[in-house]
Structure 1
Amino acid sequence: MSQLAPIKITVDKQAIRRIESDLLHIKNGAPRAMSLAINHTLGVTRTEASKEIRKQVKLKAGYVRDKLKIKRATVNRLNGAIQTPTRGTLLTRYPHTRYKNSDMGVQVKPTGGKKRMPGAFFIRFANGVQVIAVRTEHGPGLGRSEGLKVLYGPSTSQVFTDVKDDLQAPSGNRLMQRLGYEADRLLKRQ
């Protein structure tokens, strides 16, 4: 998974101390409330991150959601993360068209049209994955797969790096609200 800098969320330390003292009589009360709040916030932040990513690149929501993995918090480990692989995204993941003159067109940005790519063509790997490639070398003696370059577009990790700063403040506020909700819920159960 990714080694990118995480979203840094700041919390109100006095509110945390107050919740810890309120839940002192409940076994693992504060850690339970915190882990539940963190996990809820991660889910909502992943959805918001997916929407922001799709404002910059034309990928399907399901694909982006699958790439944004959540590492959940537990009572013993009170931190969570949204991770994404750093691998590039194949151009076939974006809307693409083959034109009559055998050129390809790919739309990476959500606005505008498809960009023509003269000389690009489809190839299929042995595992069945279809990709867009261009020939980089010509001449005799080249094997079937020699001299080919597979084309990639912006990866989800690249775009996530761009949008994560915008998500920090709303996520911190949401975490504090949810922490208060989870603490109240635990207190009402007792």
Structure 2
Amino acid sequence: MKGGAFHIGSDDIRALRELSGALDGIDGMISAAINRTADWAQREAVEMIESKVAFPANYLVGEQRLRVYSSLPSRLSAVITARFRSTQLSRFATNLPVAGKRVTPRVQVSPGRDSEMRSAFFMKLKRGTAMTGNVGIAMREEAYDKYAGAGWSGYSWEGVKILYGPSVSQVFSSYASDSLTDIGKRLVLEFNEEVKRKFS
């Protein structure tokens, strides 16, 4: 795995060629098997990531933050890539701001662990998304400097720090190699199924 990208191919393909010999249309079958394996690996990765970090529902796949680039018969490899950009901490908020009222943000980054951020506040931002609108979670710089576990901050603005949680790439890179150890076995399984479909 390199730079937040997980590759399916190379050594696995050589093994399939050794197993199959000179089957007619082998590249098409290998490509289809790679793509089915990549889809399986993406599902496994989503389950793994969501067990470690409480990303919102459909956050990872719905907007292709964990994306599969499929194989072709002319390019026998697939790649799963993860978004590098850090995630606004407001994505993990378990409460919402109320107009005209100060609301202390509560966030859940680790599943099942809800934390109140007494030194933080919701802040209107220029940009937003369908899920969070144009609201972020921020701290004043003097409070941020004293606050353990405030999270990575992307930038400061007029004495305020906008807070971020982990990126998809950080989590994916940390755990993918451990969670996708059976990728070679899965590819062989999918290839065998392709052979059965073609010659049954």
Question: Do both proteins adopt the same fold according to a TM-score greater than 0.5, normalized to the shorter chain?
Answer: yes
Identity of aligned residues (%): 31
For residue 78 of structure 1, give the secondary structure of its aligned residue in structure 2: coil
Q: What is residue 44 of structure 2 aligned with on the other side?
A: 48
Superposition deviation, residue 52 in structure 1: 0.6
Instruction: Please list the CA deviations of residues 124-156 of structure 1 after superposition, one character each: whole Å capped at 9, or x if unmatched.
Output: 222342111112169xxxxxx411111111111
Q: Does the CA-based 8 Å contact 1:34-1:179 persist in structure 2? A: yes
Is the counterpart of residue 58 in structure 1 residue 59 in structure 2?
no
The one of 33, 37, 52 equivalent to 1:37 is 33
For residue 173 of structure 1, give the secondary structure of its aligned residue in structure 2: helix
Give the stretch that moved more between structures: 8-17 or 166-175: 8-17
Is the counterpart of residue 17 in structure 1 residue 18 in structure 2?
yes
Instruction: Please list the CA deviations of residues 40-93 of structure 1 after superposition, one character each: whole Å capped at 9, or x if unmatched.
Output: 111111011001101111113410223100011101110111001111111111
Supply the AA of the counterpart residue of 1:126.
Answer: K
Instruction: Please list the CA deviations of residues 99-138 of structure 1 after superposition, one character each: whole Å capped at 9, or x if unmatched.
Output: 98742221111023x2121221112222342111112169
Superposition deviation, residue 173 in structure 1: 1.0
Q: Does the CA-based 8 Å contact 1:58-1:94 persist in structure 2? A: yes
The separation in 1 between residues aligned to 2:76 and 2:120, in whole angstroms, is 48
Supply the AA of the counterpart residue of 2:104.
Answer: D
Superposition deviation, residue 171 in structure 1: 1.9
Aligned pair count? 175
Supply the AA of the counterpart residue of 1:80.
Answer: A
Instruction: Please list the CA deviations of residues 2-35 of structure 1 after superposition, one character each: whole Å capped at 9, or x if unmatched.
Output: 83353567538454223241x2xx3xx1110111
Q: Does the CA-based 8 Å contact 1:7-1:165 persist in structure 2? A: no
In terms of fraction of residues, the more strand-rich structure is 2
Q: Does the CA-based 8 Å contact 1:19-1:180 persist in structure 2? A: no
For residue 83 of structure 1, give the secondary structure of its aligned residue in structure 2: strand
The separation in 2 between residues aligned to 1:136 and 1:164, in whole angstroms, is 35
The separation in 1 between residues aligned to 2:163 and 2:107, in whole angstroms, is 11
Q: What is residue 141 of structure 1 aligned with on the other side?
A: none
Q: Does the CA-based 8 Å contact 1:106-1:115 persist in structure 2? A: yes
The one of 163, 170, 173 equivalent to 2:185 is 173
Instruction: Please list the CA deviations of residues 157-188 of structure 1 after superposition, one character each: whole Å capped at 9, or x if unmatched.
Output: 11111221123322221111101111232234
Q: What is residue 123 of structure 2 aligned with on the other side?
A: 123
The separation in 1 between residues aligned to 2:53 and 2:126, in whole angstroms, is 28
The one of 85, 88, 95 equivalent to 2:86 is 88
The separation in 2 between residues aligned to 1:147 and 1:3, in whole angstroms, is 33
Give the stretch that moved more between structures: 119-128 or 4-13: 4-13
Question: Which TM-score applies when normalising by structure 1?
Answer: 0.80
Q: Which has the larger radius of gyration?
A: 1
For residue 138 of structure 2, give the secondary structure of its aligned residue in structure 1: strand
